Structure 1
């Protein structure tokens, strides 16, 4: 019920030894100029209490990233207003592509990944987030992900 990207789509081996770059399970910085957090696009599964989720990376402005880090371990951080961001994970089962979809990143309690809310457009991923998916669609996604290189 969950698939997750290991890094933002722009991350590559060249950044691994760069002193101004880092990749953890929750945050990423590239060359001290590009800032990312990992969050979840949650999609309700119709006729179920389950939720399907995509673990994705979202770029934040320098200021919003700094604010998120400042509050990372602070109880009550879920009261932060959402941060604007661009989706930086390509989910190849969707067409058109998912990179650069507009998002709002909602901080949740300490220990929980942020909730990534897609701008309400007609993109298939945004539609699924708003309207939910069937169990059959979950099976289709699972089969498509297994076929990916």
Structure 2
């Protein structure tokens, strides 16, 4: 019930090991200029207590990234106001592109990934976050993510 991107869509393997670049499981910095945090877009599953989630990356301003990083291991960080960001993960099961959707990143208690709230637009991902998805849609996403070649004859 969770699919996750390992890096923002703008990450290039050539950045690996560069002194001004960092990619961890939670944070990413590119050329000491672009800052990203990984979080979850959570989507309720209709008729179930389950939640489907996308592990995605959001770009933050340098100031917000620094603030989030400073509070990363601080109890009570979940009381922090949400940070504005741009979604920087391409989810190919959606059209149009999911890159650059406006978001608000909500920190949660230590040990829990931040929650990513999409701006309430008519983009299919934002609609699904607001209204939920069926179990059939979860299966459709699983098929598309796990077997992408089957979807491109």
- Shorter-chain TM-score range: over 0.9
Please say if 1:79 is aligned against 2:79: yes
Aligned to 2:148: 148
Aligned to 1:108: 108
Q: Deviations over 1:48-96 (max 9, x none)?
A: 0000000000000000000001100000000000000000000001000
Aligned to 1:21: 21
How many Å apart are 1:148 and its aligned residue?
2.5
TM-score calculated relative to the size of structure 1: 0.99
How many Å apart are 1:147 and its aligned residue?
2.3
Q: Distance in 2 between matches of 1:28 and 1:148?
A: 26
Aligned to 2:123: 123
Gaps of 5+ in 1: none
TM-score calculated relative to the size of structure 2: 0.96
Q: CA RMSD for the aligned pairs?
A: 0.7
Aligned to 1:65: 65
Number of residue pairs aligned between Structure 1 and Structure 2: 149
Matched residue of 2:14: which SS?
helix
4+ long deviations beyond 2 Å: none
Please say if 1:93 is aligned against 2:124: no
